[in-house]
């Protein structure tokens, strides 16, 4: 009997709590926006305008096409220019000269194998 | 300066008119957005978006409805768009956690304290806002506009582009859903 009464009271209390919660937003004051909102909006609009100008300039067909031609031209120049090949050859000669002089050659697995074999033969 | 004059000046690109409009309606827009998204930083960003949209699209405002109704419309739709994108991101995060290493945790929304709520109601309002957050979009918008902005059902119907009876039905369904949600909460947490 007593547990029934407790359950009833609990249910009633929960119902009361629900009603109070539903009314908890009554008489709520309006939240205030940032006092510098206008300045921030203007700054954002200017930023957007700057980007819009840049993107609209880049996306113009004439600009995009000429940029593409320039990039392809530079690529072709690098690939087919004989001067570049000579430079790379001279560079590789210079590099191998330095590695020889300072004994900077890297040993490979076959070098190790050969060493072991040589040691065996020597014994 | 009257509202109509302000709008006419804004249509001509006058910055001072835009400033007056922002200053006059910023709290209304911010409060509406804040009620829906329940996050102060996001609400400020969306409020900025709303006014930028106003500036860019003022020519489409024909004056058939009140300017404030037009602002409420933009604010509500921007806030709901934001919630949709947040939901999408959450879903994507969940998918990532399924296929990832399982360490990604789903971000939990923090308790939201509305700055205008009376001190005695603060704790209860947190529980109510959590329940409002679980309502379907239209019910959420209608309930927030009514409770936080004090709009009548007629005004809400104009903002949501629907009839007064549809708003009545939205509100009654919202209250039923909120009761259900609150009952569940208090059954688990009431001592």
The total number of structural domains in chain A stands at 2
Residue of B nearest to A46 (CA): B52
Question: Are both A68 and A99 inside the same structural domain?
Answer: no
Inter-chain touch B55–A14, beta carbons under 8 Å: no
Inter-chain touch A31–B116, beta carbons under 8 Å: yes
List the single best residue of B31, B68, B120, B140 to mutate versus A (max A Cβ within 10 A). Answer: B31
Q: Which two tokens stand for residue A4?
A: 């029934």
d(CA B104, CA B97): 5
Q: Which among B55, B116, B178 has the least Cβ separation from residue A22?
A: B178
Q: Which two tokens stand for residue A118?
A: 């040589």
ipTM, 2 decimals? 0.85
Q: Which of B21, B74, B126, B47 is nearest to A33 (CA)?
A: B47
Q: Does A61 have pLDDT greater than 70?
A: yes
A59 vs B29, residue with greater confidence: B29
pLDDT tens, position by position, for chain B (191 residues)?
Answer: 789 999 999 999 999 999 999 999 999 999 999 999 999 999 999 999 999 999 999 999 988 899 999 999 999 999 999 999 998 887 776 667 767 655 555 455 679 999 999 999 999 999 999 999 999 999 999 999 999 999 999 999 999 999 999 999 999 999 999 999 999 999 988 76
Per the domain annotation, does A27 fall within a domain?
A: no
Q: Which two tokens stand for residue A57?
A: 């300039």
CA B140 to chain centre: 8
Per the domain annotation, does A98 fall within a domain?
A: yes
pLDDT of residue B180: 96
A89 vs A58, residue with greater confidence: A58
Task: Return the residue matching tokens 């600009």.
Answer: A63
A59 vs B49, residue with greater confidence: B49
Contacts A–B by Cβ distance under 8 A: 97
Per the domain annotation, does A11 fall within a domain?
A: no
Question: Are both A86 and A122 inside the same structural domain?
Answer: yes
Question: Are both A86 and A74 inside the same structural domain?
Answer: no
Sorting pLDDT into bands at 50, 70 and 90, what band is A49? confident
pLDDT of residue A5: 58
How many Cβ atoms from other residues are within 10 Å of residue A84's Cβ? 12
Question: Are both A96 and A107 inside the same structural domain?
Answer: yes
Residue of B nearest to A21 (CA): B124
CATH class entry, domain B111-191: mainly alpha
Q: Does A94 have pLDDT greater than 80?
A: no
Q: Which of B18, B32, B38 is nearest to B134 (CA)?
A: B38
How close does chain A come to B30, measured CA to CA in Å?
A: 6
Sorting pLDDT into bands at 50, 70 and 90, what band is A118? low
What are the structural domain ranges in chain B?
Answer: 1-106, 111-191
Q: Which among B19, B28, B52 has the least Cβ separation from residue A45?
A: B52
Contact with chain B for residue A3, Cβ under 8 A: no
Question: Are both A65 and A91 inside the same structural domain?
Answer: no
Inter-chain touch B55–A45, beta carbons under 8 Å: yes
Contact with chain B for residue A28, Cβ under 8 A: yes
CA B159 to chain centre: 12
Instruction: Considering the domain delimited by B1-106, tell me its CATH architecture.
Output: Orthogonal Bundle (1.10)
d(CA B102, CA B94): 10
Q: Does A90 have pLDDT greater than 80?
A: no
How close does chain B come to A47, measured CA to CA in Å?
A: 12
pLDDT of residue B106: 47
Per the domain annotation, does A102 fall within a domain?
A: yes
How close does chain B come to A63, measured CA to CA in Å?
A: 28
Asked whether the beta carbons of B82 and B46 are under 8 A apart, the reply is yes
CB under 8 Å to B171, separation ≥6 — which residues?
B139, B142, B143, B146, B153
Quote the mean pLDDT of chain A.
Answer: 78
Contact with chain B for residue A36, Cβ under 8 A: no
| pLDDT, tens digit, 9 for 90 and up, residues A96-112 | 777 777 766 666 666 65
pLDDT of residue A55: 77
pLDDT of residue B102: 52
Q: Where in the sequence is the domain holding A88, given as residue range(s)?
A: 82-123
């Amino acid at each position: 009997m007593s547990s029934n009464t407790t359950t009833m009271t609990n249910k009633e209390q929960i119902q009361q709590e629900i009603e109070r919660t539903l009314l908890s937003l009554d008489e709520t004051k309006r939240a205030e926006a940032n006092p510098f909102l206008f300045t921030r909006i203007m700054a954002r609009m200017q930023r957007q305008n700057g980007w819009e100008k840049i993107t609209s300039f880049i996306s113009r067909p004439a600009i995009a096409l000429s940029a593409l031609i320039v990039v392809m031209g530079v690529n072709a120049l690098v690939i087919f220019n004989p001067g570049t090949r000579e430079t790379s050859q001279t560079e590789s000669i210079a590099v191998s000269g330095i590695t020889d002089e300072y004994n900077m050659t890297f040993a490979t697995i076959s070098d190790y194998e050969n060493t072991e074999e040589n040691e065996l033969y020597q014994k | 300066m009257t509202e109509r004059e302000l709008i006419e000046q804004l249509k001509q690109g006058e910055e001072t008119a835009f400033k007056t409009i922002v200053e006059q309606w910023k709290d209304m827009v911010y409060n509406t957005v804040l009620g829906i998204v329940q996050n102060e930083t996001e609400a400020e960003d969306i409020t900025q978006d709303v006014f930028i949209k106003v500036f860019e699209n003022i020519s489409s405002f024909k004056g058939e409805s009140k300017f404030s109704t037009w602002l409420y419309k933009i604010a509500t739709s921007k806030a709901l768009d934001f919630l949709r994108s947040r939901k999408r991101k959450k879903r994507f995060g969940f998918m990532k956690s399924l296929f990832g290493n399982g360490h990604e945790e789903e971000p939990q929304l923090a308790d939201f304290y509305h700055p205008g709520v009376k001190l005695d109601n603060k704790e209860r309002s947190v529980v109510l806002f959590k329940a409002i957050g679980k309502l379907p979009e239209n019910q959420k918008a209608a309930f927030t506009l009514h409770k936080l902005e004090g709009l009548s059902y007629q005004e809400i119907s104009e903002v949501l582009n629907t009839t007064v009876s549809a708003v009545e039905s939205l509100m009654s369904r919202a209250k039923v859903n909120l009761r259900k949600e609150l009952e569940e909460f208090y059954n688990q947490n009431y001592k």
